[in-house]
Structure 1
Amino acid sequence: MDNQFDPNNKIIQLLLRGMGMEDSGNPEEARLLFDEAWNEATADFEKFIAAYYVARHQRNISERLKWFETALRFALKMNDVAVKSAFPSLYLNIAKCYEVLSDSEKAKKNYELSNSYQDTPSDQGPFYHGTKADLQVGDLLTAKEESNYRPELKMNHIYFTALVNGAGLAASLAKGYGRERIYIVEPTGEFENDPNVTDKKFPGNLTRSYRSQAPLKIVGEATEWLRRTPEELRVWHEKLANNTGEIIN
């Protein structure tokens, strides 16, 4: 696989299953799935993300440090904007390990490295927005619309992604009865990592999901993306219906 986050990738699926085990109170089963993901990982991206989850289940602090540093080593091998977004989390976890090990100098160094990456996203796009609305090149997408997931919520931001398949999923789940559309968009102002996904299940912003209070300008339309099956969409709708977490607006 390339460095793009793909929920259909076997390693990502193993990690998601492991997270599900964590959520249901089965940490040992989760650990076995994370170990399996590491053992089957081949690409640098897979090894980076698998090592991160193996690290989280280490009881011995030296072993935890070793695995977080392994995750960082593979992350640094990739010149990838999405993986770069995980650096604050990786360096922070490494700093905490050194702190427990009473190595204040290395802890301080890694805390500083973590803070040095806490900046505005450097993603250059191209960017996409998925919807069922019939729009034209030159139109502006603005905030203050109803949430697709909480109809009672007026969104303070307009959301977009640099992964066309992520925009395709958003189009599939969007309200309305029009056909699914993915517009190529350009931010007209500053934007930030979407806090609803950043450092939630995965470190950083691997889905390259962003939001802005400024409008997005439509500059084109994408026609090729991975379509979800009816069964996959049914599962996604169930997940959204059962999600009681707060939306960071």
Structure 2
Amino acid sequence: MENKKDGQIQDNGPFYHGTKADLKIGDLLTAGFKSNYYSEITMNHIYFTALQNGAGLAAALAKGDGRERIYIVELTGEFENDPNVTDKKFPGNPTRSYRSTKPVRIVGEITDWIRLTDEELQNWRERIAKLRENPDAEIIN
């Protein structure tokens, strides 16, 4: 599937999804779950990235007690830049972060990536907590 802007394909992947969920090849990831960052919000999209370490960050910050996992995903529909990080926070899409209302299918798993240190993870959690305190920092669902 394609992410198009002005008729141009923006990213061909491969794409990754970071989580603590124990999933299997062929499983579909869908929208409709609580946000990892705003538990009061049910997400209308499934999020993914073309950067393994970006998916690793998402896995580290994900809710749950399972181990961090990065899944390779295949898209089943169109997708768009994640507006929560593109243009709103970073011009363009340097994080190669995307979202889709359509499911993504797990086609593999990455087991070796650069994991965050405890200090880096704590810094990210503090940044997210500060964002939540800012009334102007809403999540675009």
Q: Which residue of 1 aligns with 2:33?
A: 145
Deviation at 1:239, TM superposition (A): 0.6
Q: What TM-score, normalized by structure 2, do the two folds share?
A: 0.90
Q: Deviations over 1:51-70 (max 9, x none)?
A: xxxxxxxxxxxxxxxxxxxx
Q: Which residue of 1 aligns with 2:106?
A: 218
Q: Is the 8 A contact 1:127 1:163 kept in 2?
A: yes
Output the CA distance in 2 between the equivalents of 1:159 and 1:121.
18
Deviation at 1:120, TM superposition (A): 6.5
- Could you say which structure has the higher helix fraction? 1
Q: Which has the higher contact order (CA 8 A, sep 6+)?
A: 2
Q: Which residue of 2 aligns with 1:130?
A: 18
Q: Which residue of 2 aligns with 1:176?
A: 64
Q: Which residue of 2 aligns with 1:202?
A: 90
Which amino acid letter does the alignment assign opposite residue 168 of structure 1?
A: G
Q: What TM-score, normalized by structure 1, do the two folds share?
A: 0.52
Output the CA distance in 2 between the equivalents of 1:188 and 1:219.
12
Q: Which residue of 1 aligns with 2:124?
A: 236
Tell me how many residue pairs correspond in the alignment. Answer: 133
SS of residue matched to 1:226: coil
Bigger CA drift: 197-206 or 117-126? Answer: 117-126
Distance change >3 Å, CA 191–CA 120, structure 1 → 2: farther
Deviation at 1:121, TM superposition (A): 4.8
Output the CA distance in 2 between the equivalents of 1:200 and 1:135.
32
Q: Deviations over 1:207-245 (max 9, x none)?
A: 000000000000000112111000110010011111030
CA RMSD across the alignment: 1.2
Runs of 4+ in 1 over 4 A off after TM superposition: 117-121
- Could you say which structure has the higher strand fraction? 2
Q: Is the 8 A contact 1:130 1:169 kept in 2?
A: yes
Q: Which residue of 1 aligns with 2:46?
A: 158
Structure 2 unpaired stretches of 5+: none
Q: Percent identity?
A: 71
Distance change >3 Å, CA 120–CA 247, structure 1 → 2: farther
In terms of Rg, which structure is larger? 1
